[in-house]
């Protein structure tokens, strides 16, 4: 494997850090870039060592600030009883009415306003990710993005309920398998993208 030169690795690290500090990218994007550096730098590289330390710290602290409270959800949001996978356009807050294969969470997850496109070629902020109007949801970390800026975070209990949903797990496998097959050079956050968060 050909590694980045020391100058290229340092430049990528610096531009990533400054982009995060100025709010151009969010924390999960920075973590993704650090993961790329961890893969593309030789083992003895100071940039790789720095990236590994930051990512290790993120793993240790990621759950500490995640609240379990409730986020505000519109009363007009439909609360379906069961999760579904459908190709039928739904009016659930998304202006895009194309015939995507979508996962629609049930009301008991607290995430009924979101829909997940299973064969989405956009990996931001995660594969899979939720859509609602101009917002996107990272279902692994709960972060909500407006374009590329982190705007809020869904409560932990909602994300746990989502990953406990058998149909969502099936949908996540389908989305991941699609992305692995169509984008073989994508650098994943984790070593094995098919290893989903455990049920709780």
- What are the residue ranges spanned by the domains of the chain? 6-61, 84-182
pLDDT tens sequence across 27-67:
777 888 888 888 899 988 999 888 888 777 665 545 555 66
pLDDT tens sequence across 60-104:
545 555 666 555 454 455 567 777 877 755 544 444 445 578 899
**CA distance linking residue 179 with residue 156, whole number of Å:** 26
> Considering only CA atoms, which of 79, 86, 152, 146 is closest in space to residue 111?
79
For residue 125, whether the previous peptide bond is cis, meaning omega lies within 30 degrees of 0, is yes
**CA distance linking residue 92 with residue 141, whole number of Å:** 23
């Amino acid at each position: 494997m050909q590694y980045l030169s020391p100058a290229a690795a340092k430049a990528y690290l610096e531009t990533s850090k400054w982009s995060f500090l100025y709010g151009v990218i969010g924390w999960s994007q920075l973590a993704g870039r650090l993961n790329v550096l961890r893969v593309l730098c030789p083992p003895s590289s100071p940039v790789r060592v720095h990236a590994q330390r930051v990512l290790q710290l993120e793993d240790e602290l990621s759950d500490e600030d995640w609240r379990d409270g409730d986020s505000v959800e519109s009363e007009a949001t439909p609360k379906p009883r069961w999760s579904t996978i459908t190709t039928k356009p739904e009016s659930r807050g998304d202006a895009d009415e194309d015939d995507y294969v979508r996962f629609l969470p049930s009301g008991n997850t607290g995430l009924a306003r979101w829909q997940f496109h299973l064969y989405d070629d956009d990996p931001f902020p995660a594969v899979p990710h939720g859509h609602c109007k101009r917002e996107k949801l990272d279902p692994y970390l709960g972060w909500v993005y407006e374009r590329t800026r982190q705007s809020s975070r869904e409560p932990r209990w909602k994300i746990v309920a989502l990953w406990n949903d058998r149909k969502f797990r099936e949908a996540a496998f389908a989305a991941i398998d699609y992305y692995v097959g169509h984008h073989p050079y994508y650098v994943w956050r984790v070593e094995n993208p098919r290893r989903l968060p455990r049920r709780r």
